[in-house]
């Protein structure tokens, strides 16, 4: 079974990748200037105070010893305690993870809808003005980074035409009945569409800002690939069967053309998740990225380590899902 084999190989490489990430993040954040103790103490603290606090957080020990203690903890599921909030790092990051996952997946869905629509429309009316207009729009979407799109959207839909919320994840005055942090998902399960609408109104702009550049990439690549597929023999044969051009594109070409796009979407989706850090900050969205910036500002070393490790897990997970999807979509790989 190739599924199982891919899974096993991937789990092994993932473990190696994560170990590497752990080493790099641990030592890099300790080598760069600035330390958490200096952030915690008021100006003019004595050498004694610094030494006592350092000892309290174990920062007085040699680097290698510190690393050993941290790794030993991680092996038992203990990622340490946040220096700023004094809560377990694992609880903090897992509490924020659902918000970022929901935002990223929303953005991905938007990007696929927008990019897919652009590619299909461009292919349907290829060689004409419609395709030209789509190419121009794609170029614009690609050449502006996500955080600038965020500012543009805030101006458009937050200030000029205030239809969406520009900050936060949910209106603070609302009573939330949720037991998990997957608010968007749970509001659907509980059939609380009022809450769902409020969540979407908050998420719409940050998700769209993240989605626009990815949509452009999907649109461009999928259109290219569709146009090539439209010249293949089986597509020509389908035309002689009496089908209209739209149906030929959707049923004969789309699935085969989507394969090369899919691999790229996987890679680009990890960039999108990276983009959440700044976008969440811009929209004061309570996710991992926002927390990461706070952690870096406060030099909250254990929290930074936890967040980076979690991001690494997400990235490798996304790549694994893409590989598995590829075998599902391409029947030729299934028996290989």
Partner 1 sequence: MSFLQVRNLSVRLKKGPPLLRRVSLDVAAGEVRGLVGESGAGKSMIGKAVLGILPPSIEVTEGEILLDGVDLLRLPLAQRRRRIGALCALIPQDPLTALNPSHRIGPQITDRLVDILGWTRADADRRAGELLAEVQIPDPDRVLRSYPHELSGGMRQRILIASAFAAEPKLIVADEPTTALDVTVQKQILKLIAGMQARHGTALLFVTHDLGVVSKVCQRLSVLYAGMVVEDTSVADFFAAPRHAYSAALLAATPKYTDPSAGLIPVPEAVISAVQAEVAAFDRSVAHG
- Does 5 bind partner 1 (CB under 8 A)? Our answer is no
- 129 makes contact with partner 1 (CB under 8 A): no
CA 274, CA 101: separation in Å to the nearest integer?
A: 12
| Interface stretch with partner 1, choices 8-16, 79-87, 148-156, 228-236 (CB under 8 A) | 228-236
CA–CA separation, 226 and 249 (whole Å):
8
Q: Determine if 46 is a binding residue for partner 1 (CB under 8 A).
A: no
Residue number with CB closer to partner 1 (86 or 335): 335
Size of the site for partner 1 (CB under 8 A): 23
Distance from C-alpha of 154 to C-alpha of 206, rounded to nearest angstrom: 9
Among 131, 186, 252, 323, the residue binding partner 1 under the rule CB under 8 A is: 252
Q: Is 30 or 126 the residue whose CB approaches partner 1 more closely?
A: 126
What is the rounded distance in angstroms from the CA atom of residue 150 to the CA atom of residue 83?
31
Q: Which of residues 314-333 bind partner 1 (CB under 8 A)?
A: 329-332
Cβ-proximal residues to 218 (8 Å cutoff; 6+ apart), any chain: 111, 112, 114, 115, 116, 118, 119, 261, 264, 265, 268
Name residues whose C-beta falls within 8 Å of residue 205's C-beta, 6 or more positions apart in sequence.
150, 153, 154, 157, 158, 164, 165, 166, 283
Q: Which of 256, 263, 284, 327 binds partner 1 (CB under 8 A)?
A: 256
Does 243 sit near partner 1 (CB under 8 A)? yes
Determine if 233 is a binding residue for partner 1 (CB under 8 A).
Answer: yes
Task: Say whether residue 239 binds partner 1 (CB under 8 A).
Answer: yes
Alpha carbon dihedral 248, 249, 253, 259, in 10-degree steps, equals -150
Please pick, from the candidates 136, 234, 297, 317, the single residue that binds partner 1 as defined by CB under 8 A. Answer: 234
Rounded to a whole number of angstroms, the minimum distance from the CB of residue 330 to partner 1 is 7
CB of 240 to partner 1, least distance (A): 5
The contact set with partner 1 (CB under 8 A) reads 127, 231-234, 236-245, 247, 252, 255-256, 329-332
């Amino acid at each position: 079974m190739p599924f199982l084999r891919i899974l096993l190989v991937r789990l092994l490489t993932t473990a190696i990748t994560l170990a590497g990430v752990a080493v790099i993040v641990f030592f890099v954040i300790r080598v760069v200037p600035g330390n958490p103790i200096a952030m915690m103490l008021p100006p003019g603290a004595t050498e004694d105070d610094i030494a006592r606090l350092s000892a309290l957080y174990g920062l007085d020990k040699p680097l290698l010893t510190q690393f050993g203690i941290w790794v030993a903890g991680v092996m038992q599921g203990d990622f340490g305690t946040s220096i700023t909030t004094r809560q377990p790092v694992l609880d903090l990051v897992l509490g924020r993870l659902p918000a970022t996952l929901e935002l990223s997946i929303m953005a991905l869905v938007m990007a696929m809808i927008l990019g897919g629509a652009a590619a299909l429309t461009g292919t349907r009316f290829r060689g004409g003005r419609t395709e030209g207009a789509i190419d121009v729009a794609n170029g614009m979407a690609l050449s502006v980074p996500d955080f600038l799109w965020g500012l543009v959207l805030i101006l458009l839909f937050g200030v000029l035409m205030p239809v969406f919320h520009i900050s936060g994840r949910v209106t603070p005055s609302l009573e939330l009945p949720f037991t998990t942090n997957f608010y968007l998902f749970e509001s659907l399960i509980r059939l609380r569409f009022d809450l769902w609408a409020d969540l979407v109104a908050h998420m719409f702009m940050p998700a769209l800002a993240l989605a626009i550049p990815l949509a452009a990439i999907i649109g461009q690549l999928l259109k290219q690939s569709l146009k090539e597929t439209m010249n293949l023999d089986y597509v020509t044969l389908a035309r002689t069967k009496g089908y209209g051009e739209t149906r030929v594109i959707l049923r004969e070409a789309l699935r085969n053309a989507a394969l090369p796009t899919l691999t790229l979407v996987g890679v680009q989706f990890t960039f999108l998740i990276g983009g959440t850090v700044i976008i969440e900050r811009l929209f004061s969205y309570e996710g991992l990225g926002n927390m990461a910036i706070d952690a870096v500002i406060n030099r909250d070393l254990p929290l930074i380590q936890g967040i980076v490790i979690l991001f690494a897990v997400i990235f490798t997970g996304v790549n694994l899902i893409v590989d598995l999807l590829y075998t599902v979509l391409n029947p030729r790989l299934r028996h290989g």
